Structure 1
Amino acid sequence: MLNISKDNQVLITPGKYASITNVARRPHYKTLNKIIIGFLIFLVACLFLPWTQNISGDGSVTTLKPDHRPQTVHNAIAGRIEKWYVQEGDYVKKGDTILFISEIKEDYLDPNLVSNTKEQVDAKKMAVESYSDKVSSLELQSESLGTERGLKLQQARNKIKQAHLKIKSDSMDLEAIKTQLRIAQTQFNRSTALNKEGLKPMTDVEQKKLKLQEAEAYIITQENKLLSSQNELLNARVEINRITAEYAEKISKSQSDKFTAISTQYDTKAQVNKLQNQYINYSMRNGLYYITSPQDGYVSRALLAGIGETIKEGTPIVSIMPAGYDIAIETYVNPIDLPLVHRGAKVRVWFDGWPRIVFSGWPGLSYGTYGGRVVAIENFISQNGKYRVLISPDSEAEKWPKELSIGAGAQSIALLETVSVWYEIWRNLNGFPPNYYKSDLNDGKSKEKK
């Protein structure tokens, strides 16, 4: 350790030495001091300049509508390639033929399959019409049987009425004969009494006896006649039951035949519908042999090659890029920045291959960037661990280049709140996120609720 004490220290005064005074009075040192002080003042002033907070993202150029994106044309049925009608780079319109394939399944190899099926459909339709006529005939037959049954029953009822009247008439005749029998018996008894007294001859008694016998014989005949009339009444009633049973059986058989014909008619209609379905399927299958373009566009790539190659259902044939499309950008943001992005937010984008100078904090000084607006935000995280955001051109800003191709790289900056530079430096040093803010649309809704 050096042996130095406070008493031995000597203070050097700059003014005592001319060399130090000369060096301190040189003019360029004063200029340097002014420059340093001015630079420090400039840096302090820059700390109070406005800085726009932003969220950056990487993505690529795509289309706004799903049907405007490149699509692959597939075949609907299995077949064998017979002829190509396009080549890569050709422009095709909607409905233009791309490829022709032939049939390979044995169920559809018949060249007359469609016409034969059509004939089967026509035959079944005629069978349906014949069954319909048969049903109508059976309905007429049932009506005729019902009418005939009514007439037969009316006839049998008339016979019953006649039998009743005849029974009544025979009963009256029987009573008259019984009266005559009583009179004949009385006359015979009187004649016999008078004959015993000698007042009447024997011939008169014999005549009265003959009349009595005739009356007795006639009353037996009249009783038989009455029984016969009663028997006719019973027969008429039995005839009604027979007619009812007979025509019930006939009408039931006719109705059964009608329902059988209706059932067969419905079954034939079902067969007609099945055959019509097959006919339509066969007709549409013939149209699937020609693979056509679903929309206007350019054949960008042929995924198959050669003639005679067998392909299955759903095999990719060609890739078509639509001719007209609305361009957009799909970009990806970090999950921590997703709450700061909303639909309608303004975004600055630039594309690979286009010269640009980007100042993220001062978008007004950037060169080669274009305006955009957020139109969709995906709520599910992507495989890259970020959220997908779809951006469309801003109608109020400059138009995007027409030369952009689908799939080209693109970068985006979502503009947030404007703060001071010192605040942004302080935020980054402390690791704070950008300021959370709401869109004007949300602010208007909140004011209306209040």
Structure 2
Amino acid sequence: MVDAHRTFVIVGGGLAGAKAAETLRAEGFTGRVILIGDERDHPYERPPLSKAFLTGKDERDSVFVHEPGWYAQADIELHLGQTVVSIDRETRSVRLGDGTVVHYDKLLLATGAEPRRLDIPGTGLAGVHHLRRLAHADRLRHVLAALGRDNGHLVIAGAGWIGLEVAAAARGYGAEVTVVEAEATPLHQAIGPELGQFFAELHREHGVRFHFGARLTEIIGQDGMVLAARTDDGEEHPAHEVLAAIGAAPRTALADAAGLDLAGREHGGGIAVDESLRTCDPDIYAAGDVAAARHPLLGIPLRVEHWANALNGGPAAARAMLGQDVTYDRVPYFFSDQYDLGMEYSGWAPPGSYDQVVLRGDVGKREFIAFWLKGRRVLAGMNVNVWDVTAPIQQLIRSRVEVDPQILGDPTLPLTALTDPTGPGDLAG
């Protein structure tokens, strides 16, 4: 029996929102739980949109967080295809696009992010795509299959994770792929140039063409269809379809209009929250891609646009809403699958934050671990086709122990020994 005297409202029908609703019930909350999402699909996970679902390995139903009937069974009031247009903090209510006003005792904003748009001529052509929502992936999956059948060309603007995963999927279908990237290597902001070059070589071996140091300036078409993509250095690439994969922006308009504090651009923007994922309003929380949480380990506000952050952040926010003592201090984590390569990355080491990269294993066989270090402390680690090492990598990051780079790069020494006080003696050398 639901107790109507307390109402928790969740705005955002993605993974963070769905897991928050699940956690509220698992923790014994008996009040109303209202989950509002602006898509008509039930809450789903986003990684398959550029991985297994896009490649055709998994079916559409595999992406959903819960079976459709679960929400009614858990007494979750699910409002799909509804947009929240405003928050009234004084009356503690939200207004929906259809005029409905919903009261809340606690409010969770899990509004996610939206793809950045190409601001160039030609983006209105039928063959220009983004990939953020399930509807985008539905369409793009058919597009890639058709390109493969017809020996068609796909131009991708951006060599980030989405751009590279779509490139791999497109080559799997047999499409011709050109990636245009402003930096000198792929994934520059995520992993730096040292490992970015590794991914460039991986994709070149599979037939992907790269055009680095350039940006798209125009998409050329005829009769509404794409014919080519032009770059700022005068190059013109044949194209039947174009994917804009130039990053995502947090959906903060609702929070901003309500007067909630936002993080600065240097921290990725987003809704500013404390270590318990609470905003400047004690009754409003934020989680997932939109939240910039002060990270206890890193000491800075950090906005993370990855699956694990939504998976863990939603439940953490739910527990905080229930009055539990919550410190959200997860080490940032993400994974990627491209061709026969699988990788996991833990930590936070953008370019400029580290002074060396240490490799452990066989890079030629694509079975290795890379570590980003600053002053002999491990900031981040990426395991490539090496498994069951995430826990010791994250422990290295958390421990802040100083390590000898030569010992760190020695694959004969277990990673667990580096943080074991009974392990090898002077790890700092």
The interval holding the TM-score normalised by the smaller chain is: under 0.3
Structure label with greater radius of gyration: 1
Greater relative contact order: 1 or 2 (C-alpha under 8 angstroms, separation 6 or more)? 1
> Of Structure 1 and Structure 2, which has the larger fraction of its residues in strand?
2
TM (norm. structure 1) is 0.16
TM (norm. structure 2) is 0.16
